[in-house]
Structure 1
Amino acid sequence: MAGNTLGELFRVTNFGESHGPAIGCVIDGCPPGLPLTEADIQIELDRRRPGTSRHVTQRQEPDQVEILSGVYQGVTSGTPIALLIRNQDARSKDYSNIAETFRPGHADYTYWHKFGVRDPRGGGRSSARLTAPTVAAGAVAKLWLKQRFNIRVRGFMSQLGPIPIEFQSWDHVHANPFFAANATQIDELEAYMDQLRKDGDSVGARIDLVAEGVPVGWGEPIYGRLDADIAHAMMGLNAVKGVEIGAGFASVAQRGSEHGDELDPTGFGTNHAGGVLGGITTGQDIRVSIAIKPTSSIRTPRQSIDKAGTPTVVETHGRHDPCVGIRATPVAEGLLAIVLMDQALRHRAQNADVHVDTPAIPAHR
């Protein structure tokens, strides 16, 4: 199956199925000399791990990462880094009733028509379980970006279903299961999710991402644009149906006199562009938002067909996230970090000796 590799110089190839023996990834192109241990990766995987609250799937997976290659005496060797995460709590029998039918909103129907065979156990290859290797690879990229450029990649949930979440502080993000930057709204969010689970239904979410400290000049014109690479990577995340850079769709209602970010020797006045102009970084924060659809696997009866084309009713049992967006923040952070590291290496390969007389202005006034 093609389409499992992300990046050009920093390349991440994802493998495995939801209920197979293991999932993982191979990272090729990571420069040598980066201090790296399994604990460095595990801290990110634990943020995404299932079973951490009543609002997510109760599948109990430790998501313990194993480094199989590419690290010697505690540092990367420059050779491919193989990361393995073993599946330990799969319950394939929960999916026996949908082996011959197609769940509405899921990839069952399209996988069947593309490959002529599909793995119905937990969604197989199309499962959100496959986001764990992305987080693992993103942890490596985060470490390199932090060490080399002091770049910080962070995210938070800004909307859960119909409920907007006002940003208060980054300090709140890691203190609740929603990755919400507002501790005062947690009771409201929990009550909403408790009722949603009782209803046997699901809901979507919006995740906002910020990369701070990115230098000016990364990205390439036309087909190698940084924002295009970001959008491509984010759309590869399960359930993502929309990506915004900077002001995004709000740009439609803005006038040019408002949207264009004015600048003077003291910095940019605004950041409607999201830190990217002409596909190249401005030195401002990279700002990205993603829209995540409701989980397709729900207990509510839905109309569908079976493999023979006969009408049927589908009820999906098993353990599922009523909102996959709750655990999506670490995954989206990882994807953004992977794209930025890839673009950093591409910039270094072609433009490392480029120097201009005009100094870069500050990111902010």
Structure 2
Amino acid sequence: MSTFGQYFKVTTYGESHGRSVGCIVDNCPPGLQLSEADIQPQMTRRRPGQSALTTPRDEKDRVEIQSGTEDGITLGSPIALRVLNEDQRPKDYGGGGKNIDAFPRPSHADWTYLEKYGVKSSSGGGRSSARETIGRVAAGAIAEKYLRVAHGVEIVAFTSGVGPEHLFPATKTHPNQSANPAFLELIDKITREKVDEFLPVRCPDETVCTSMADLIAEYRDKSDSIGGVVTCVIRNCPSGLGEPCFDKLEATLAHAMMSIPATKGFEIGSGFGGCEMPGSIHNDPFVKAPAVPPAEANGHASEAAAAGRRRPRLTTKTNNSGGVQGGITNGAHIYFNVAFKPPATIGQAQQTVGYDEEAGVLEAKGRHDPCVIPRAVPIVEAMAALVVMDALLAQSARQSARSLLPVLERTVPVSETESKLLRESQ
């Protein structure tokens, strides 16, 4: 399907070489200040043609808000977002004879789309193209603004691996990143501005970034491609988000990340490396949370929201769980990795079989990324924002309904106001 989310619903549309791509966002809270300027920065970070290490397709990806706002304020009605395709070249995929359209491209979606629908887009990847992610990034920017303004949520992704080059390689001392103090310090402080200081790769370490850039250039010059890993952290996420049993927060994150084109793996917290740790080390003991006033803990949140929010009583000493336990957020940093395969379309001649079942040689034309990782960073951030936004609206509805009931001694108060009422009643 082309729709993601149950409460904050996003429907994307458009093909790689069609007239436009975009999305419709349904159920965005009304009263949010919103303009194209809030969305464009993430679109620009995702767009093609950023450097010699990305596809040379020249798209500015200028976003236009078509509906759902008035005088820069969201109305609560559907928000339509559109981006024109200004540099589409469908002719790169045709031309007669044994051309690219005569073959299902190896590891691409040409054959599976044809098997599913009986027809496929004749140019580019159609809906399987990374160009579809424009709508996701635009919608994600809206979700991010609400999360930032209402709760001070911060979402930052960065490149942590390209081929065999890794920012935090596994060692005997630190078999996985959740046990590496340098990694934990990085995700506690890293910002998008800092990540973008390390263009074009977006790996926040000068030495590793250079090695990654050289590796991507090497594969580009051989008309080949290479994959990698994007790491993402979500900070200041409210506790209590996630819907057991089938919509656990990490499950919806996995769903969101694995829906991004070219993804092949997802791990949260200690991930697969955690399987090598004994429970006595892997467990996250609870400790008393520091007494930080809500307004100070969430500097971006409105004073009214901060005053009514229930401050956490407990936190964890370590965070191998990645901020999620029992499928529900516990208030700690949520961090995860997303693995991307090498881009399927490469310039090298490949022996394969055509739609006519005859063997032949495919030499792909067109403009393609030798590595998707640098441009995948804002896509991962966008999908993370959509997951948190959807979970937050679900929990807000539940808490709103519960707040209308009498405060009972057995229940945990929804807000500081209810805590005060409970104390006074005792």
**How many Å apart are 1:312 and its aligned residue?**
1.9
Specify the code of the residue in structure 1 equivalent to 2:280.
S
Deviates more, 1:313-322 or 1:134-143: 313-322
- Of 227, 248, 272 in structure 1, the residue corresponding to residue 250 of structure 2 is 227
2:384 partner SS: helix
**Residues 212-237 of structure 1, C-alpha deviation per residue, up to 9 Å, x if partnerless?**
00111111111121111110011100
Specify the code of the residue in structure 1 equivalent to 2:205.
N
- Of 202, 206, 211 in structure 1, the residue corresponding to residue 234 of structure 2 is 211
Deviates more, 1:22-31 or 1:214-223: 214-223
Specify the code of the residue in structure 2 equivalent to 1:60.
D
Query: Structure 1: how far apart are the matches of 2:240 and 2:42?
Result: 28
Query: Structure 1: how far apart are the matches of 2:317 and 2:351?
Result: 52
- Of 261, 264, 268 in structure 2, the residue corresponding to residue 245 of structure 1 is 268
**Residues 80-108 of structure 1, C-alpha deviation per residue, up to 9 Å, x if partnerless?**
00000000001111111211211111001
Q: Does 1:262 align with 2:291?
A: no
Specify the code of the residue in structure 2 equivalent to 1:81.
I
**How many Å apart are 1:138 and its aligned residue?**
0.5
Q: Match of 1:199?
A: 222
Deviates more, 1:145-154 or 1:121-130: 121-130
Query: Structure 2: how far apart are the matches of 1:81 and 1:337?
Result: 17
Pairing of 1:137-176 with structure 2 (within 5 A): 137-166=139-168, 170=191, 172-175=194-197, 176=199
1:39 partner SS: helix
**How many Å apart are 1:183 and its aligned residue?**
2.2
Specify the code of the residue in structure 2 equivalent to 1:37.
S
**How many Å apart are 1:358 and its aligned residue?**
11
Q: Does 1:356 align with 2:412?
A: yes
Q: Match of 2:107?
A: 105
1:222 partner SS: coil
- Any conservation in 2 of the 1:14–1:133 contact (CA below 8 Å)? yes
Specify the code of the residue in structure 1 equivalent to 2:196.
H
**How many Å apart are 1:359 and its aligned residue?**
10
Distance 1:305 1:39, change over 3 A: same
Query: Structure 1: how far apart are the matches of 2:74 and 2:336?
Result: 30
Deviates more, 1:190-199 or 1:47-56: 190-199
**Residues 185-226 of structure 1, C-alpha deviation per residue, up to 9 Å, x if partnerless?**
333222222211111110101000000001111111111211
1:99 partner SS: helix
- Any conservation in 2 of the 1:172–1:180 contact (CA below 8 Å)? no
- Of 11, 21, 24 in structure 2, the residue corresponding to residue 23 of structure 1 is 21
Q: Match of 2:406?
A: none
TM-score by length of 2: 0.81
TM-score by length of 1: 0.95
- Any conservation in 1 of the 2:14–2:22 contact (CA below 8 Å)? yes
Q: Match of 2:70?
A: 72
**Residues 168-188 of structure 1, C-alpha deviation per residue, up to 9 Å, x if partnerless?**
654541111111111233332
- Any conservation in 2 of the 1:36–1:71 contact (CA below 8 Å)? yes
**Is there any run of 5+ residues in structure 2 with no aligned partner, and where?**
169-182, 290-314, 404-410, 417-426
Q: Match of 1:363?
A: none
Query: Structure 2: how far apart are the matches of 1:154 and 1:194?
Result: 25
**Residues 291-322 of structure 1, C-alpha deviation per residue, up to 9 Å, x if partnerless?**
00000000122222211222222121110000
The structure 1 segments of at least 4 consecutive aligned residues displaced by more than 3 Å after TM superposition are 166-172, 352-355, 357-360
**Residues 3-24 of structure 1, C-alpha deviation per residue, up to 9 Å, x if partnerless?**
1000000000010000000000
Query: Structure 1: how far apart are the matches of 2:215 and 2:109?
Result: 27
Pairing of 1:308-327 with structure 2 (within 5 A): 308-327=356-375
1:337 partner SS: helix
Specify the code of the residue in structure 2 equivalent to 1:326.
P
- Of 211, 221, 231 in structure 2, the residue corresponding to residue 188 of structure 1 is 211
**Is there any run of 5+ residues in structure 1 with no aligned partner, and where?**
361-365
2:265 partner SS: strand
- Any conservation in 2 of the 1:220–1:280 contact (CA below 8 Å)? yes
Q: Does 1:282 align with 2:330?
A: yes
Q: Match of 1:9?
A: 7
Percent of pairs identical after alignment?
A: 43
Distance 1:6 1:358, change over 3 A: closer
- Any conservation in 1 of the 2:8–2:25 contact (CA below 8 Å)? yes
1:25 partner SS: strand
Query: Structure 1: how far apart are the matches of 2:335 and 2:388?
Result: 12
